Amino acid sequence: MGKPTIVLLALLHQFLFTQGQTKIIDMHIHCYTDDYFAKPSTDYYGNKGSLNAETHREETFAAFRKFNIVKAVISGTPASVDNWIAKDSSHRFIRGITIESPDQYGIDTIRFEQMIRDKKIEVFGEIGAYYGGTTLSDSIWQPYLRICEKYDIPVAVHTGGGDPGGTYSWSPNARLHLSDPYLIEDVLIKYPKLRIYIMHSGEVWHEHALRLMAYYPQLYSDIGAMLWVEPLTQRYMTDFLKNAKQAGYLNRVMFGSDQMKWPYAIKKSIDFLNSLVFLSKQDKQDIFYNNAARFLKLKE
């Protein structure tokens, strides 16, 4: 087979894929400012991240167009979120905020409530409480969660591990045990009307995530970086999805790429999910779009 034929077949395959690909809602996207790219970094496979904030945004936007991602929950600093929103002519983004402690960015409860009223925060998260050495059940988070329940603002909380070695550098208070989903149970009890989803579906504690979802019918989860970040997490997520399907809770699992500095991870996440033969076409459509549309109360 000649090279032109191979190229043609590859283009045809991509055309057919994009034509048949369901709409996607990505519940876990990050944006950054340039200072975040000052220190070069590689992922588990040795791939370098984007060079700067602008390249990162352009590469992420290109992936959205290519894979028919029609909505995405975007979290970052307030400044980085504002920048992406201003350049989003397709109105894809739902405003989130990356936050490890409730007083980050100088936000108190008064300012927080005003930001919600001004639609500067539409999803409270990604909340990385464990990075700051707390859990969502700690008292410091409760005034903010009460406000979220009052205004029906969804809450997105990180579960599972994080940046390898981060405890030795930027997150000295992080401890793995603080990211066990069971540690948010008090929140589910205190705020039964709160829309909440656990990011990464618990990762190593995926059985805990599933048990919480079984016991608390309002609880959703997202897949996060588990589909692409390394073989270990891919195993966790494969087991989680198999068990969620068998148990009947797959209808509350949502797609999220958690692309971080590596926009190529969006494609890798989609490809890995599509490769799972135990999921039906309907299962995949629900994970990619339907479950999130219901959780977010989107109107067609």
* Span 25-75, pLDDT tens digits: 999 999 999 999 998 889 999 999 999 999 999 999 999 999 999 999 999
pLDDT tens per residue, range 213-265: 999 999 999 999 999 999 999 999 999 999 999 999 999 999 999 999 999 99
Q: Give the span between the Cα atoms of 279 and 242, in whole angstroms.
A: 8
Contact yes or no for 73/26 (Cβ under 8 A): yes
- For residue 18, what pLDDT band results from cuts at 50, 70 and 90? very low
Q: How confident is the model at residue 2 (pLDDT cuts 50, 70, 90)?
A: low
Mean pLDDT of 169-196: 93
Distance CA 292, CA 72 (A): 10
Residue 200 backbone dihedrals phi, psi, to 5 degrees: 70, 5
* Least trusted range by pLDDT, from 58-62, 112-116, 176-180: 176-180
pLDDT, averaged across the chain? 92
Residues linked to residue 222 through DSSP beta bridges, in sequence order: 254
Least confident of 43-52, 152-161, 169-178, 224-233: 169-178
pTM for this model (two decimals)? 0.91
Closest C-alpha among 17, 80, 30, 54 to residue 265? 30
Domain parsing of the chain, residue ranges: 21-295
Number of H helices, E strands in the chain: 11, 8
DSSP state of 222: E
Q: What is the pLDDT of residue 127?
A: 98
CATH class for the domain made up of 21-295:
alpha beta
